[in-house]
Amino acid sequence: MDVKELEQLIGKNFHYYQTGHVADYIPALAQVNPEQLGMAIYDLKKNQLIEAGDSQVRFAIESMSKVPVLLLAIQDNGIDKVFQTINTEPTGFAFNSILNMELNHRHHPMNPFVNAGAIATTSLIAGKDPEDKFNRILAFMKEICDDPQITLNEEIYHSESRTGDINRSLAYYMKGNQMIDGDVSEILDVYFKQCSVNVTAKGIAKLGAVLANKGIAPWSGQQIITEESATIVKSIMTTAGLYDESGEFSVHVGVPAKSGVGGGLMVAVPNYYGMGVFSPALDAFGNSAAGIQLLKDVVEKLDVDIFD
Residue 185: count other Cβ atoms within 10 Å of its Cβ.
Answer: 11
Catalytic pick from 16, 17, 157, 243?
A: 243
Each residue's pLDDT expressed in tens, for the chain with a length of 308 residues: 999 999 999 999 999 999 999 998 888 999 999 999 999 999 999 999 999 999 999 999 999 999 999 999 999 999 999 998 888 876 655 555 555 555 545 567 888 998 999 999 999 999 999 999 999 999 999 999 999 999 999 999 999 999 889 999 999 999 988 889 999 999 999 999 999 999 999 999 999 999 999 999 999 999 999 999 999 999 999 988 887 667 677 766 789 999 999 999 999 999 999 999 999 999 988 899 999 999 999 999 999 977 76
273 catalytically annotated = no
Rounded CA-CA distance 95/272 in Å is 29
Query: Can you list the domains of the chain with their CATH numbers?
Result: 3-56+201-302 (3.40.710.10), 63-197 (3.40.710.10)
**Residue ranges with strand state E in the chain:** 38-43, 48-53, 59-60, 151-152, 197-199, 257-259, 264-269, 273-278
Q: Is 173 an active-site residue?
A: no
52: number of CA atoms within 13 Å, CB side? 16
**57 annotated active-site:** no
What is the spatial distance between Cα 247 and Cα 264, in angstroms, rounded to a whole number? 19
Annotation says 243 is catalytic: yes
